[in-house]
């Protein structure tokens, strides 16, 4: 299939029109998860600037933040470095009725840690052996586990890195590691391929999504996510909402405190 040109990227208007019905479906899924007390864990991986944060925000935005949680862990501290590698992630696994969105995950070991030399070869090999077993335990215990890898070409990555550099509101997205990692595009590709080969299993398969056009990528990923959730009808309890008898009171305060003047 021929790749789309940048001029073929989806317009904001078309994107927002296509997103609205998906947001309604995401709400239905969230109600199903809550009513059935299911546990959902979704992992988002990919190169820097692929669009992980954007699609995670898109999924989380219409959902109840008490139910849907975004997990984006910093680098491990000294104590965590001495623990079993998966230990720091276990505390963030979903409880009944929860949806957990992992902005990167234990797969850091097979990606940035491997390529940048932050782990030993023995630690890396141990991870590739243990990850499928660890995930099978999660799935066997009833967790709905979905794993997405967001694909992006090097030219597109360079464009987005430059955009972050030029936009003062996006400087926080750049780190020294990001700038070093951009020089290792092919090394990351080889590490990704080895990771996919070792951890793409029947019980926890990977799904690759093209994110060179982030708007199309978000819609594609969300549609796939919705297709992976059982088509179960959720019957909402009717809410008896009656108008209050008037007149209605205005907000007022006693004492010196007043709202600040409106802009």
The structural domain count of the chain equals 1
Asked whether residue 238 is domain-assigned, the answer is: no
Asked whether residue 241 is domain-assigned, the answer is: no
| Confidence at residue 98, expressed as pLDDT on a 0 to 100 scale | 98
| Confidence at residue 90, expressed as pLDDT on a 0 to 100 scale | 98
CATH of the domain at 152: 3.40.50.300
* Cβ proximity of 71 and 102 under 8 Å: yes
| Confidence at residue 1, expressed as pLDDT on a 0 to 100 scale | 45
Residue 134: φ, ψ to 5°? -60, -45
Q: Which alpha helices (DSSP H) does 75-234 contain, by range?
A: 78-81, 87-90, 112-116, 121-140, 154-166, 176-181, 185-199, 214-227
Stated pTM of the model: 0.90
In 3-state terms the chain splits into helix, strand, coil percentages (rounded to 5) of 50, 10, 40
**By residue range, what is the domain housing residue 218?**
15-227
Tens-digit pLDDT profile for residues 9-32: 899 999 999 999 999 999 999 999
Tens-digit pLDDT profile for residues 210-261: 999 999 999 999 999 999 987 667 777 788 888 988 888 888 888 898 888 8
Asked whether residue 22 is domain-assigned, the answer is: yes
Q: What percent of the chain has pLDDT over 70?
A: 96
Asked whether residue 237 is domain-assigned, the answer is: no
Asked whether residue 245 is domain-assigned, the answer is: no
Mean pLDDT for each consecutive 10-residue tract of the chain (263 residues)?
64 96 95 94 95 97 97 94 97 98 97 95 98 98 98 94 89 83 92 98 98 97 92 75 88 87 89
Give the mean pLDDT of the chain.
92
Asked whether residue 109 is domain-assigned, the answer is: yes
């Amino acid at each position: 299939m021929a790749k789309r040109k940048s001029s073929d990227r989806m317009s904001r208007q078309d994107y927002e029109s296509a997103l609205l019905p998906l947001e309604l479906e995401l709400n239905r899924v969230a109600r199903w998860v809550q009513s059935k007390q299911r546990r959902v864990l979704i992992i988002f991986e990919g190169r820097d600037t692929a669009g992980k944060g954007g699609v995670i925000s898109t999924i989380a935005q219409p959902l109840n933040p008490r139910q849907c949680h975004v997990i984006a862990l910093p680098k491990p501290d000294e104590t965590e470095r001495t623990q079993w590698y998966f230990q720091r992630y276990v505390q963030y696994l979903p409880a009944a009725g929860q949806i957990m969105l992992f902005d990167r995950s234990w797969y850091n070991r097979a990606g940035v840690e491997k390529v940048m030399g932050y782990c030993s070869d023995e630690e890396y090999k141990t991870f590739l052996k243990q990850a499928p077993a660890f995930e099978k335990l999660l799935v066997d215990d009833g967790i709905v586990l979905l794993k997405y890898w967001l694909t992006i070409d090097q030219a597109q990555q360079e464009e987005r890195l430059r955009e972050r550099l030029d936009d003062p509101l996006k400087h926080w997205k750049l780190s020294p590691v990001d700038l070093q990692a951009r020089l290792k595009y092919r090394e990351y590709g080889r590490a990704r391929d080895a990771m996919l080969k070792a951890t793409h299993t029947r019980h926890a398969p990977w799904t690759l999504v093209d994110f060179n056009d982030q708007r199309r990528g978000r819609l594609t990923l969300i549609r796939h996510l919705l297709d992976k959730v059982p088509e179960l009808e959720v019957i909402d309890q009717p809410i008896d909402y009656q108008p209050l008898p008037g007149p209605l009171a205005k907000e007022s305060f006693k004492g010196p405190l007043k709202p600040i003047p409106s802009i």
